[in-house]
Structure 1
Amino acid sequence: MTKHPKNALSLVADIGGTNTRVALANGKDLLPDTIRRYRNSGYPGLETVLRTYISEEGDVDCLGACVAVAGPVRDGVGTMTNLDWTIDKETLRRATSAENVSILNDLQAQGHALGYISDDNITCVAPAHTAEAPSPNAVRLVVGVGTGFNAAPVFETHTGRFVAPSECGHANLPIRNELELALCQFIENAHGFPSIEDVLSGRGLEQVYRFLGIQANDPREKFAADIMASVEAKNDPRADETVAIFIKILGTVAGNLALIQLPFGGIYLVGGVARAMAPHLERFEFAHAFRDKGRFTGFMQNFSVSVVEDDYAALTGCASHLHSLTS
């Protein structure tokens, strides 16, 4: 007897820079008991990961397959930004034997998850202050802060949901004061180009900590998780300063993106680093940095900002997107 019904379930995967999560879905519904996590360093490519998963799930016969990749997708080919993997539709069909396949950017998948995430997993960190409720078709924006940084607008159209891809994490880092200029120059010396992702990511947090040490003639290093632990314990003032800089720049960048996309339906911060920062956003004045736009400061009150606490939202988004293609 097979573990799963034949040709009834879809395979969904979220491929990050460090780990790949794979699961099965029944239509739009993710099956939590089937979620498995694989460390990318142990596999030569995604095809091997998916074949391993299918075997571990009793050689499940998949109706469809949709994967979200942390990198650009063009003409059905996904290329990882922080991992030497490439995936195309033919490879996905070969690995899964699925009839219908799709490849999304990871932030596109997060956008497709909106509306299918439990309210218990969404925390508002900067409410909108306006008497006018957003329309059902208002633009929303997902902003991913994790191994890398990216954002994607979510549009509701007459023909369905459209989530526009983006690689905005590789745009220039914004600069508003002398300290941020020095940080920008520090990153440029190290990498040749100062991008948003070089600060607003896990490794970016580590770089800011290192930068502050050099500024103070007391160079030290810490892993991102240890920096956040020190902020929790309040035992390292440099960790506090690091997170304060991080959150201020995050607010500035999120505010810039809000003015570009006008997401009256809300901004949603996603990703492991965003979730780690969530308890500290108020303390380090994220909302002020987000709305600090001169004569447009009042206008910024139109946009709410929330943190998505669901670690599997991208998998839900893949399931939702695939279902919309086949229903």
Structure 2
Amino acid sequence: MAHPANTYSLVADIGGTNTRVALCEGRRVLGGTIRRYSNAKFPGLEAVLSQYIADEGGVDTKAICVAVAGPVRDGRAAMTNLDWTIDKPTLARAAKAETTAILNDLQAQGHALGHIDAANLRSVLDGPAGNERAAKLVIGVGTGFNAAPVFDGETARLVPPSEAGHANLPIRTEAEMRLCRYVETAHGFPAIEDVLSGRGLERVYAWLGEEAGDPRPLKAADIMAAQSAGTDPRATEAVKTFVRILGTVAGNLALIQLPFGGVFLVGGVARAMAPYLHEYGFGEAFRDKGRFAGFMGNFAVSVIEDDFAALTGCAAHLVDLESRRG
């Protein structure tokens, strides 16, 4: 397929297992150009990008932005489960692009806000509409947990990096204290991510088994399948526990950041939990802040169900970079 030279930008979403790559025109990701590559088949990101460029007919791109499942600092990304070098010189060399950018994957989700089709937003809690520059909050619940505020200035959007999943779990009840003691054996203290993640759901299920004197492990996907089928009361209780703690943590983060523009849940686990958030008390836990309970009604909450939102965020970030350069 022939593409016009120096017209499109290249965007990529790099996970621990797969990398998705696409071309974009402005903030619009070109759906027909999205390709997925297994990371295990490539020695590094440069090889993936070279393969993609060849698969797209040797396309000559003008800019590149990648979203990485790991921390980014000083233009260099580190991934927990992938020994790849991801830095701006690598991107420039692979894509032969004049503009390069690297984002944490949650930052990319933040840059996507406002550019996602309304059909891909599931409302969880209603709230008053904020003005277009009101702060927003994106919360990622998937393999791990993270959260980041989203600030819109006059000329660009700022989504600062964060590692919110490694903060301590909030504790409201004796049962939650016992859960904290159970999960702290993983890393020496009870972090939010030790419960609010895919592996975290498995730990909640295992803890409930210990509490009942009937310990047995179950994978997260199987827990959600049992919950959906109604075949395992313990799976239902694990999901209920997860949802309530997610509501408490999301409410805490909302009070810290004051996202009058909305709270947005993203990630595979968030999407899997979406059908149960209302039924199992997410809203009650979110607003259970004593004298601030009424104030919590200022924050609408939605789940983003667009699997390609990180690519859209990368495209939007490149547009912001271009506008800042004048």
TM-score range, shorter chain: over 0.9
Please name the residue that 1:176 is paired with.
Answer: 172
Indicate whether 1:64 and 2:63 are aligned: yes
Whether the 8 Å contact between 1:65 and 1:100 is mirrored in structure 2 is: yes
CA deviation after TM superposition for structure 1 residue 106, in Å = 1.1
- Cα distance in 1, alignment partners of residues 166 and 39 from structure 2: 23
> For residues 21-60 of structure 1, what are the structure 2 equivalents within 5 Å?
21-60=20-59
Please name the residue that 1:138 is paired with.
Answer: 134
Please name the residue that 1:301 is paired with.
Answer: 297
Give SS of 1:115's match.
coil
CA deviation after TM superposition for structure 1 residue 292, in Å = 0.6
Q: Which moved more, 1:157-166 or 1:100-109?
A: 157-166
- Cα distance in 1, alignment partners of residues 46 and 193 from structure 2: 28
Match of 1:202 among 198, 201, 204: 198
| CA distance 1:86–1:258, change in 2 (3 Å) | farther
Please name the residue that 1:277 is paired with.
Answer: 273
Please name the residue that 1:316 is paired with.
Answer: 312
Please name the residue that 1:5 is paired with.
Answer: 4
Give SS of 1:221's match.
coil
CA deviation after TM superposition for structure 1 residue 246, in Å = 0.7
- Cα distance in 2, alignment partners of residues 154 and 16 from structure 1: 22
Give SS of 1:143's match.
strand
Post-superposition Cα deviations, 1:88-137, rounded to whole Å, max 9, x if no partner, equal 11111122211110001111111111111111111110112x5xx42222
Indicate whether 1:77 and 2:73 are aligned: no
CA deviation after TM superposition for structure 1 residue 81, in Å = 3.7
Q: Which amino acid aligns with 1:134?
A: G
User: Structure 1: any 5+ residue segments left out of the alignment?
Assistant: none
> For residues 261-272 of structure 1, what are the structure 2 equivalents within 5 Å?
261-272=257-268
| CA distance 1:86–1:171, change in 2 (3 Å) | farther
Post-superposition Cα deviations, 1:63-104, rounded to whole Å, max 9, x if no partner, equal 110001122111111112444444111111122211110001
| CA distance 1:180–1:86, change in 2 (3 Å) | farther
- Cα distance in 2, alignment partners of residues 10 and 293 from structure 1: 45
Indicate whether 1:147 and 2:143 are aligned: yes
- Cα distance in 2, alignment partners of residues 47 and 219 from structure 1: 45
- Cα distance in 2, alignment partners of residues 320 and 56 from structure 1: 24
Q: Which moved more, 1:244-253 or 1:173-182?
A: 173-182
Whether the 8 Å contact between 1:268 and 1:307 is mirrored in structure 2 is: yes
Match of 2:221 among 220, 225, 233: 225
CA deviation after TM superposition for structure 1 residue 157, in Å = 0.9
Whether the 8 Å contact between 2:198 and 2:269 is mirrored in structure 1 is: yes
| CA distance 1:61–1:3, change in 2 (3 Å) | same
Whether the 8 Å contact between 2:10 and 2:24 is mirrored in structure 1 is: yes
- Cα distance in 2, alignment partners of residues 100 and 18 from structure 1: 26
Aligned length: 323
Please name the residue that 1:87 is paired with.
Answer: 86
Please name the residue that 2:125 is paired with.
Answer: 126
Q: Which amino acid aligns with 2:53?
A: I
Q: Which moved more, 1:11-20 or 1:306-315?
A: 11-20
CA deviation after TM superposition for structure 1 residue 40, in Å = 2.8
- Cα distance in 1, alignment partners of residues 132 and 115 from structure 2: 15
CA deviation after TM superposition for structure 1 residue 307, in Å = 0.6
Whether the 8 Å contact between 1:7 and 1:63 is mirrored in structure 2 is: yes
Please name the residue that 2:103 is paired with.
Answer: 104
Whether the 8 Å contact between 1:17 and 1:147 is mirrored in structure 2 is: no
Q: Which moved more, 1:72-81 or 1:272-281?
A: 72-81
- Cα distance in 1, alignment partners of residues 85 and 37 from structure 2: 17
| CA distance 1:82–1:144, change in 2 (3 Å) | farther
User: Structure 2: any 5+ residue segments left out of the alignment?
Assistant: none
Indicate whether 1:14 and 2:13 are aligned: yes
Q: Which moved more, 1:179-188 or 1:62-71?
A: 179-188
Considering only aligned residues, what root-mean-square deviation do their CA atoms show, in Å? Answer: 1.5
- Cα distance in 2, alignment partners of residues 43 and 296 from structure 1: 51
Q: Which amino acid aligns with 1:277?
A: M
Whether the 8 Å contact between 1:210 and 1:219 is mirrored in structure 2 is: yes
* TM-score with structure 1 setting the length: 0.95
- Cα distance in 1, alignment partners of residues 297 and 229 from structure 2: 33
- Cα distance in 2, alignment partners of residues 75 and 6 from structure 1: 30
CA deviation after TM superposition for structure 1 residue 17, in Å = 2.8
Whether the 8 Å contact between 1:16 and 1:147 is mirrored in structure 2 is: no
**Percent identity among equivalent residues?**
67
Moved over 3 A (4+): 41-44, 81-86
Please name the residue that 2:236 is paired with.
Answer: 240
CA deviation after TM superposition for structure 1 residue 199, in Å = 1.1
CA deviation after TM superposition for structure 1 residue 16, in Å = 2.1
Please name the residue that 2:157 is paired with.
Answer: 161
Q: Which moved more, 1:15-24 or 1:295-304?
A: 15-24
| CA distance 1:126–1:215, change in 2 (3 Å) | same
